[in-house]
Structure 1
Amino acid sequence: MASPLVISTHFSSIPHKTRHRSLSLLCSSVSTAIFMNPISKPNKNDIFSLKKPSKELLISRKFIACTSIGDTETKDSSLVGEDSAAFDLEEQKISSWIYFTVILGVVLFVLDVVWIDNSTGYGKAFIEAVSELSDSHEVVMLILILIFAGVHSGMASFRDAAEKLIGERAYRVLFAGISLPLAVSMVVYFINHRYEGLQLWQVQNVPGVHQLLWLANFISFFFLYPSTFNLLEVAAVDKPKIHLWETGIMRITRHPQMVGQVIWCLAHTIWIGNSVAVAASVGLIAHHLFGVWNGDRRLARRYGEDFETVKARTSIVPFAAILDGRQKLPKDYYREFIRLPYLTITAVTLGAYFAHPLMQGASFNLHW
């Protein structure tokens, strides 16, 4: 009975945070002693020491978990992929975000001069050239998507080889420099011609439809933009990498961009209800379904067994791995969404909704 009394008295005489650290070190020290020398008894002096943990102690914590009092979140040690949307303000450099802002401004300026501005850019000429292939807006829409998809997926497929030749940052600039103008052309053409197809149904006057589709569209953006997990890499401020994400939205589906695109397409097609919307949706969904196969192929080649592990406990179809028990959600799963990237998506999505009239007006003024 003496030992527990001594331990209790010892902890009660030190500050709250120190007690947490003491108990954590106590548990970790015991586990270290057992792990490193399971036959001999642990050294009493080591157990109650508050010295800086040794290298062996830190290693042992990977094998035996002992959470201190007051801990509210424990890290899943079974993860082999990366923690999605993790964002630590302490690790951010102001200079990096200044570079990001400058690069973004330069990219938008160059894009406007070289592609968007009808007096200097080639965007209008590109649209006119494609439009000469057919009088059908549906066909032109599909051709624009096919061109974008071919370039985007093709360059992604050759990424490994190209990065070895010119480097990660240079290839990211080349990739964005070609893909971005094609994406802008595709979006502008859709906005300008979305109501020029054959009307197939009309549900815009049905009560509740607008609210339901707005909610679906809002949700789609949480799936559509996992690129917000690494914005500095998107702008090539940090060296671009191929990431094996495993938490957050990835627990629901391994291919969130595909799921988000399907939701977005269905919502807009139901609302617009004509042949142009159907054609655009068919093209975009087909492109993203190809991306599912191509993405898995590239991740398998890059990460090998780690990808197979992630693949085994995730799914393409949303919630499938959760429902069949392959994906075990942590008790504090909601914490994986209370992060700055997801808050950024929320703000940008709401901003884009209210900016719809501006985007539509700007697209119309281009006369593409």
Structure 2
Amino acid sequence: MDSATLLLGLGMIAFVGSHLLMSHPLRPALVRQFGPSGFLGVYSLVSLITFSGAVVAFGKAPSGPQLWDGQALVPWVIASLLTLVALALFLASFAGNPALAGTDVSGLSTRLPHGALKVTRHPMMSAFTLWGVSHILVAPSPRSIILAGGVIALAVIGSRGQDAKKAALYGRDWRAWMKRTTFLPNPAAFASLGFYWVAALPVWMLVTWLHLKFALVPAGLWLWLEQL
């Protein structure tokens, strides 16, 4: 393994590990030490430094070998659809999502899931997971697997950690909510995203266009539109 790929792996371990540690076992001590606002500042700074280091290493790591042709029709179409779903889930995750930090969950045991919460109780983390899977599909190289795989690991483990922490904090309310919702996204409930499909499409076109202009790598429909 070359040095840049090794540094990328170490950077993602630091990013994921520090994120999980600060989110769960170290959080009470850090909040006592720095206060709520100071904790958010430390949390954000550590996450920014570790992820930025990983991104720099990613740029220096070799782009191959590729395990398969990520620009072939099937993986490209699947990945493009996954990123669109991920964006719709991400946008919808800000509406009445009890998994978000600071959200009031009192009486949650009496609520029925709606919108993105019919798809999964962790729409934001599911969006990050789908983003990671889509990027591995279209760029199945060691560096992409390490970077995107780290994001997937953080989203999945972080979601499990959220469930455990909120079940401990809110007891019956959160356990009842877990029974009414699913951990993994339920494709049969995608229609529940409603308006967010309409909102996601133009944002998806813009984001994939920016991906081409700034990362110099085509994404989504731009792989073919640029050739017209």
Normalised by the length of structure 1, the TM-score is 0.47
Per the alignment, residue 122 of structure 1 pairs with: none
Return the match for 1:178 from 46, 49, 72.
46
Structure 2 vs 1, CA of residues 346 and 176 (structure 1 numbering), >3 Å: closer, same or farther?
farther
Query: How many residue pairs were aligned?
Result: 205
Whole-angstrom CA distance in 2 between matches of 1:189 and 1:242: 36
Structure 2 vs 1, CA of residues 222 and 194 (structure 1 numbering), >3 Å: closer, same or farther?
farther
Name the % identity.
Answer: 21
Structure 2 vs 1, CA of residues 228 and 185 (structure 1 numbering), >3 Å: closer, same or farther?
farther
Structure 2 vs 1, CA of residues 315 and 360 (structure 1 numbering), >3 Å: closer, same or farther?
same
Whole-angstrom CA distance in 2 between matches of 1:308 and 1:276: 38
Per the alignment, residue 102 of structure 2 pairs with: 241
Structure 2 vs 1, CA of residues 140 and 319 (structure 1 numbering), >3 Å: closer, same or farther?
same
Question: Where do 5+ consecutive residues of structure 1 fail to align?
Answer: 1-133, 235-239, 324-328, 362-368
Aligned pairs (5 A) from 1:110-259:
135-157=2-24, 158-164=26-32, 166-190=34-58, 192-193=59-60, 196-204=63-71, 206-207=72-73, 209-224=75-90, 228-229=94-95, 241-242=102-103, 244=105, 246-259=113-126
Structure 2 vs 1, CA of residues 195 and 338 (structure 1 numbering), >3 Å: closer, same or farther?
same
Q: CA deviation at 1:208?
A: 5.7
Cα deviation, 1:127-167, whole Å, max 9, x if unaligned, reads xxxxxxx7344433221111011111111113345445544
Question: Where do 5+ consecutive residues of structure 2 fail to align?
Answer: 217-228
If you compute each CA radius of gyration, which structure gives the higher value, 1 or 2? 1
Q: Does 1:299 align with 2:160?
A: no
Per the alignment, residue 157 of structure 2 pairs with: 290
Normalised by the length of structure 2, the TM-score is 0.71
Q: CA deviation at 1:311?
A: 0.5
Q: CA deviation at 1:186?
A: 2.6
**Structure 2: which amino acid aligns with 1:222?**
A
**Structure 1: which amino acid aligns with 2:146?**
A
Across the aligned residues of Structure 1 and Structure 2, the Cα RMSD in angstroms comes to: 3.5
Q: CA deviation at 1:296?
A: 0.8
Q: CA deviation at 1:227?
A: 6.6
Whole-angstrom CA distance in 1 between matches of 2:201 and 2:84: 8
Q: Does 1:269 align with 2:143?
A: no
Whole-angstrom CA distance in 1 between matches of 2:95 and 2:7: 33
Cα deviation, 1:159-218, whole Å, max 9, x if unaligned, reads 34544554433322222222123223333443x2575232222242x3465344222222
- Relative contact order (C-alpha < 8 Å, sep 6+): which is higher? 2
Q: Does 1:360 align with 2:227?
A: no
